[in-house]
A and B are shown apart, each in its own frame.
Chain A
Amino acid sequence: MDEKILEIKDLTVSFGENRVIEDVSFSIKRGEVTALVGESGSGKTMTALSILDLLPDTACRRKGEILFDGKNIFDLGPEELRDMRGNAIAMVFQEPFTALNPVIRIGRQIAEAVSAHGICPRSEVRERIKESLSTVRLPEETVYQYPHELSGGMRQRVMLSMALSCDPAILILDEPTTALDVSIQKHILDLIRHIQKDRQLTVLFITHDFSVVRTIADKVCVMRRGRVVEQGAKEDVLGEPACEYTRQLIACIPVLGDKRERLPVVDG
């Protein structure tokens, strides 16, 4: 249980001279939920994209390595990388409204993920899609729909089912609820928590919201302006934050949390 499945070492990424990630190091343990917290623009998404080696073309990786199962992913060939993405490490993006291809049916978009890695014979792909849709509590008919026919919450479920369809070793969730209506956020979070518990998933959960951290994380890693300013077990960081910045972030919780409790919950 204590083994490190992913380890980021001294990662530095810049756009031109602007270093958006600087000397970031942290690790993720199997079966744990690691929360990556920080304000907007602190480099959370860039860190996540580095793990898949999918940084934008304009970004430049200055130094560092990312070890997955003991192998540096930056040493992998294109074919090995391709097979790692989605299969070993899957990601759900921040923006459910633009993350799905508008002209392709949901079913096909999930099927692609499954068949790209040949994890099951062709004849079973259909069954597998059904299964992954039911995991996120979407009706079977969703496969025939196009993204524009779904609500934001439903799209994020589709993204989640796509990410889960290959049984990834690590699931990266990049602010999966930030773009959603507050009333739907709780549903999606509950769903994620349920699936995580159920499958003992290893999750990197990106958020800027400590109330979410409190409910879901085992370990916390706080980022600010591209640097990790504090990391440790959830209890330690939340109980006795060492850093003023962390304290400020935590201070935002009660207000948001209270509001959320009172809102009626509508299924998305």
Chain B
Amino acid sequence: MGKYILKRLLLIIPMLIGISFILFVVMHIAPGDPTSVKYGLNPDISESARSNFNKIYGLDRPVLVQYATWLRRFFFLDFGDSFMDGRPVISKIMSRLPATLLLQASSFLVIFCVALPIGIISAVRRGGLFDRTMTVAVFIGYALPAFWLALLLIFFLGFKLQLFPVSGMVPWYAVYIGGFARAGDLLWHLVLPVFATAFGGVAALSRYSRSSMIEAMGQNYVLTARAKGLSERRVILVHALRNALLPIITIMGLTLPGLISGSFIFETIFAWPGMGRLGYEAIMNYDYPVVMGVAVISTFLTLLGIFLSDIAYAAADPRIRYETRRT
């Protein structure tokens, strides 16, 4: 098992390099460049100032050479400095990472804690009122564009009813209130962004856990469990659920890329001071070093998540215990 973990962990490095290469090339192929934004709109900027900028940042060299330079620094976790304000990219990202992780982790938790019970209850009471209601709700959930839902939430719950704050994470008054109140306020600010980010995931995962659960409940070992005289509760929550969870673990790992790419949109909509919004602004400004930094960190988080879900799977399924075998 230890060997397997190490192998999988090491595998992340080449994957990260490959993906970073693709990202780098795509970013440079995309129309526009830093000088056209920063200086292009200003008619007073001379051609020589422009080429001077390109030279300083090495943008005049071939893309492959630029990538090689980038890669070399990357091994020392040096992502360069931002074009916009000259601050090191890594410190810009690190200051934004906690907010993103908080939002992602909350969404992840909400997805799991909401979707799983919905899936289980729907499966157990298949065809019942709850199941049918949820089927319709999930259908709507799939059909609604999540960003539009986010705007609706902001409009109705935020502006009209004034129930939740619509933007930001820590308001100006936070420094004046006590620890518990501040935590409560933070939770309060989390409600709408989490709702919007988790919505699609809840819809998908609840469907998935429903079908996984239905399949498990039709298995012979569930019949055996009933024939032993176990309570229905135990049959469902122990025998069926433990097996149904196996594919769900994999799916949970696969929801991560969606969550992270969603963070670009939702952090911008809700003015959440996270890495996604940083990335969005960087893209808008052709701030290449920041774009690369954010993209690589996001990729790393995604790969790490998938790795963790694989480990969880291996731990949960006794049939996949690598090498070490207890007797």
Contact = CB atoms under 8 A, between A and B. Distances in A.
Nearest to B230: A116
B215 interface: no
Nearest to B246: A103
Nearest to A162: B228
A101 B243 contact: yes
A102 B221 CA distance: 8
Given A93-B223, A98-B220, A99-B220, A83 B318 contact: no
B129 interface: no
Interface string A186-220: 00000000000000000000000000000000000
B319 A113 contact: no
Interface string A78-89: 100011111100
Interface residues of B, number: 25
A112 interface: yes
Name which of B227, B238, B327 has the most chain A CB atoms within 10 A of its CB.
Answer: B227
Pick from A87, A99, A101 the residue with the most CB of B within 10 Å.
A101
A30 B228 CA distance: 21
Interface string A96-108: 0011111111000
Contacts of B226: 52, 54, 85
Contacts, number: 84
A237 B248 CA distance: 53
Given A141-B327, A146-B318, A146-B319, A101 B239 contact: yes
Contact of B221 (A82, A99, A116, A146): A99
A90 interface: yes
B231 A101 contact: no
Contact of A103 (B225, B230, B318): B318
Given A103-B316, A144-B327, A146-B319, A52 B221 contact: no
Contacts of A52: 226-227
B52 interface: no
Nearest to B226: A54
Chain B binding site: helix, strand, loop or mixed by DSSP? helix
Size bracket, chain A contacts: 20 to 34
Contacts of B239: 101, 104
A117 interface: yes
Given A93-B220, A98-B221, A99-B224, A112 B319 contact: no
Q: Which 5 A-B pairs have the closest CB atoms?
A: A86-B229, A85-B229, A98-B220, A86-B228, A101-B221
Interface of B: 219-221, 223-232, 234, 238-239, 242-243, 246, 316-319, 326-327
Given A101-B243, A112-B228, 7 more contacts: A87-B229, A100-B224, A102-B319, A104-B238, A105-B318, A112-B225, A148-B318
Interface of A: 52, 54, 78, 82-87, 90-91, 93, 95, 98-105, 112-113, 116-117, 141, 144-146, 148, 159, 162, 166
25 contacts: A54-B226, A54-B227, A82-B231, A85-B226, A85-B229, A87-B229, A90-B227, A93-B220, A93-B223, A93-B224, A95-B220, A100-B221, A101-B239, A102-B317, A104-B239, A104-B242, A112-B225, A112-B230, A112-B234, A116-B228, A116-B229, A141-B327, A145-B327, A148-B318, A162-B224
